[in-house]
Amino acid sequence: MTAVNDRTARQNVIVLVLAQALLGSQMPMIFTIGGLAGQSLASNACFATLPISLIVIGSMLTANPLSAVMQRWGRRVGFWIGATGGTLGGLVGAYALYLGSFPLFLLGSLLTGVYMSAHGFYRFAATDTASEAFRPKAISYVMAGGLASAIIGPQLVKATSDAFVIPFLGTYVAVISVNVIGALLFLFLKIPKPPPVSDTKDKGRSRWQLLTTPRIAVAVICATVSYALMNLVMTSTPLAVVGCGYTQNNAADIVTGHVLAMFAPSFFTGHLIARFGVERIVGAGLFILCAAGIVGLAGVELENFFIALILLGIGWNFGFIGATAMLANAHSPAERGRMQGMNDFIVFGGVTVASLASGGLMNCSGGSPVEGWTAVNLAMVPLLLAAGAALVWLIVRESKTASA
């Protein structure tokens, strides 16, 4: 039975890898130019990264509804809703650039958040038909599809950002095409709809019971911190790079290196989790995120940006995939809809705060881009300490339980 399930799981992983590669390419595209486009439209530079913040807010607000849709009607419907949101976001964003309207541009960003929310469920969908042994690898393989998106997205930015007289308009036209074509992939997804909760004998734990389960709580904390810190630094990077005298192409190349680093380790992260345990991999992720901040504080040469963003990507990969694997094995199928939606609501809530803080720290916390970049990297410290403390607490607690 396990072999049959894993055969189906591998077929689904292929579809999800392709979706991650194609549909996922719009995220590095938008994160590369979102802040720069916002800076060109906003009346106050402090609001430059607000479009990216609206994307994350849209993702946070739709995480629970999308999870409920997938619980009732299946993954395919939820992923199509996400692609529709991405298409509408691209349309509204392109029209806003044409009109020069910052409020309309923010609306387009909010709609793009629907796609970002659906995108977050690709990793969970990879586990739906997988055996327990294959789940960490399935998550890793799907995340590895981001390698292609790391190349496709920034290269599309280079090819399209100046395609029209209006800067960045061509990129948003490309985003529309990516969503329309990518939505067709889900025709080949074979994940059965979960049984209605009312038809199951065990409806599972309540949301509060789930959140107060130590292993789930720590998984959510580590996922939130890993993703929030990655977003905090990545969102401000194009502004810092251009502000320090480098070009938009330099910023695109740095984002490419960062996104490659986010997903390249995915080919072996699952194997590392199986060999060393999920707690050690999450801990390694938090340590590497700390190293990224140290390199960022060391200077604003191009090599500093490249190394810091590469370390940031690797740290995110270990921390976020590890936390996802920890969570996936800590709840039952009946609890899937409420737990996964609640997890992503909390994660993207943290990312929302980080993205909102990013623009303010970068543009309004000092008199120069260098001072702003320093403030961004220093802001990582308290969150890393909190996540590290939570992980150590869980390890000690479970070790005492095992000994008893």
**From CA 190, how far away is CA 123, in angstroms rounded?**
15
More confident residue, 336 or 231: 231
DSSP state of 268: H
pLDDT on residue 64: 85
**Position 158: which residue type?**
K
Asked if the structure places residue 195 within a domain, the reply is: no
The tokens for 85 are: 């949101």
More confident residue, 64 or 78: 78
Of the chain, the percentage scoring pLDDT greater than 90 comes to 50
More confident residue, 344 or 186: 186
Q: Which of 169-183, 226-240, 333-347, 356-370 has the highest mean pLDDT?
A: 169-183
Task: Specify whether the CB–CB gap between 145 and 20 falls below 8 A.
Answer: yes
pLDDT on residue 290: 97
Task: Specify whether the CB–CB gap between 279 and 391 falls below 8 A.
Answer: yes
Task: Specify whether the CB–CB gap between 293 and 381 falls below 8 A.
Answer: yes
Instruction: Dump pLDDT digits (tens) for 336-368.
Output: 778 888 888 898 888 888 888 887 888 787 778
* Longest CA pairwise span in the chain (Å): 70
Residue 1 pLDDT level (bands cut at 50, 70, 90):
very low
Decide if pLDDT at 327 tops 60. yes
Segment 377-393 mean pLDDT? 96
Asked if the structure places residue 89 within a domain, the reply is: yes
Segment 278-284 mean pLDDT? 95
Return the number of other C-beta atoms located less than 10 Å from residue 382's C-beta.
Answer: 10
**Position 279: which residue type?**
E
Asked if the structure places residue 218 within a domain, the reply is: yes
**Position 386: which residue type?**
A
pLDDT on residue 5: 55
pLDDT on residue 3: 45
Asked if the structure places residue 156 within a domain, the reply is: yes
Asked if the structure places residue 199 within a domain, the reply is: no
| pTM score, whole prediction | 0.75
Residue count (the chain): 404
DSSP result, 145-180: THHHHHHHHHHHHHHHTTSSSSTTHHHHHHHHHHHH
pLDDT on residue 402: 81
Decide if pLDDT at 4 tops 50. no
pLDDT on residue 2: 43
Q: How many domains does the chain have?
A: 1
Of the chain, the percentage scoring pLDDT greater than 70 comes to 96
Decide if pLDDT at 207 tops 50. yes
Asked if the structure places residue 10 within a domain, the reply is: yes
- What 3-state DSSP class applies to 54? helix
Residue 274 pLDDT level (bands cut at 50, 70, 90):
confident
CATH of the domain at 287: 1.20.1250.20
The tokens for 313 are: 């990507």
DSSP result, 292-343: HHHHHHH--SHHHHHHHHHHHHHHHHHHHHHHHHHHHTSS-GGGHHHHHHHH
Scan for tokens 């609306």, then name that residue. Answer: 107
Q: How far is CA 130 from CA 9, 21, 57, 177, 279, in A?
A: 5, 21, 31, 31, 21
Mean pLDDT is lowest, of 105-114, 161-170, 310-319, for 161-170
Domain that residue 135 falls in = 2-189+205-403
- What 3-state DSSP class applies to 100? coil
Q: What is the mean pLDDT of the chain?
A: 88
**From CA 344, how far away is CA 61, in angstroms rounded?**
10
Asked if the structure places residue 198 within a domain, the reply is: no
Decide if pLDDT at 212 tops 60. yes
Asked if the structure places residue 157 within a domain, the reply is: yes
pLDDT on residue 391: 97
Instruction: Dump pLDDT digits (tens) for 126-161.
Output: 888 888 788 888 888 888 888 888 889 888 988 898
Decide if pLDDT at 263 tops 70. yes
**From CA 79, how far away is CA 96, in angstroms rounded?**
25
pLDDT on residue 198: 57
The tokens for 312 are: 């940031």
How far out from the chain centre does Cα 57 lie?
13
**From CA 266, how far away is CA 146, in angstroms rounded?**
9
pLDDT on residue 329: 79
Q: Which residue, among 143, 23, 29, has the nearest Cα to 87 in the 3D structure? A: 23
Decide if pLDDT at 282 tops 60. yes
Q: Which residue, among 213, 123, 395, 363, has the nearest Cα to 286 in the 3D structure? A: 395
Segment 49-56 mean pLDDT? 85
